[in-house]
Copies of this chain bind each other. A is one copy, B any other.
Amino acid sequence: MFEQINHHVTKCIALSAEELDIFNSILVYKAVPKKTILLHESEVCNFEAYINKGCIRNYYIDENGFEVTLQFAIEDWWVSDIASFQNHEPANMFIETLEDCELLMLSPQTKEELLEKVPKLERVFRLMVQRNLAVLQSRLFKAIATSAQEKYIDFINRYPTIPQRVAQHYIASYLGISPEFLSKVRTKLSKK
């Protein structure tokens, strides 16, 4: 059950067997069916979840009901609303499973406890956030500077397995275009 996450963590930093044991003993396993809302806007997010198996998205909704998918997360990713989790403030996004999922969870308390017992992990979490930041930066850039077609091509290159797993209109909401237009882009591309 823990091989995957241990491999994930030890890619960042070397840990002894005891440290890994502490780490694993603190994680809480949870199986969740698909279409479950893990976090609702304006709730405080009380988890950071490592995805052992499954697929999750988090998204915003604006006052007109317009939905923006912020991220798809699959195996070997973490999901959370970090700001809400960290500062115990209400989240401004939703987190929802798209498939049946197996998760390994931390709460604010257990994360605190973990970092106290294995301070080296502080670095792992910082690197995680940083990587996230880099991804988001390049995404913002593309959202602003490129056409719908380029965005879609870039998306399937970067996440080739996602299109087979999630409905197309979610991808449209990730790219910031209408589902109809995504469909048109796709037919245009397939004609080449």
- Which A residues are closer than 8 A to B by beta carbons? 60, 62, 66, 68, 70, 82-83, 86, 92-93, 119, 122-123, 125-127, 129-134, 136-141, 143-146, 176
Contact indicator A176/B70 (Cβ below 8 Å):
no
Structural contact, A141 and B83, CB atoms closer than 8 A: no
Query: In the bound complex, do residue A83 and residue B134 qualify as a contact, i.e. CB atoms below 8 Å apart?
Result: yes
* 9 shortest interchain CB distances as A-B pairs: A144-B176, A83-B134, A126-B126, A136-B136, A129-B129, A60-B141, A122-B122, A140-B140, A143-B143
Number of copies: 2
Shortest CB-to-CB span from A95 to chain B, Å, is 13
Question: Do the beta carbons of B140 and A139 come within 8 Å of each other?
Answer: yes
How many angstroms between the C-alpha atoms of A57 and B69 in the bound complex? 28
Min CB–CB distance A90 → chain B (angstroms):
13
Q: Is the interface of A mostly helix, strand, loop or mixed?
A: helix
Bound-complex Cα distance A144 to B146 (A): 12
Q: State whether A126 and B134 are in contact (beta carbons under 8 Å apart), knowing that A70-B141, A143-B143, A145-B60 are contacts in the complex.
A: no
A137 touches B138 (CB 8 A): no
Q: In the bound complex, do residue B145 and residue A176 qualify as a contact, i.e. CB atoms below 8 Å apart?
A: yes
| A-B residue pairs in contact (CB < 8 Å), sample of 29 | A62-B141, A68-B140, A68-B141, A68-B144, A68-B145, A82-B133, A82-B134, A83-B130, A83-B131, A83-B134, A86-B127, A86-B130, A93-B137, A122-B122, A122-B126, A126-B126, A129-B129, A129-B130, A132-B133, A133-B133, A133-B136, A136-B136, A136-B137, A136-B140, A139-B140, A140-B143, A143-B144, A144-B176, A145-B176
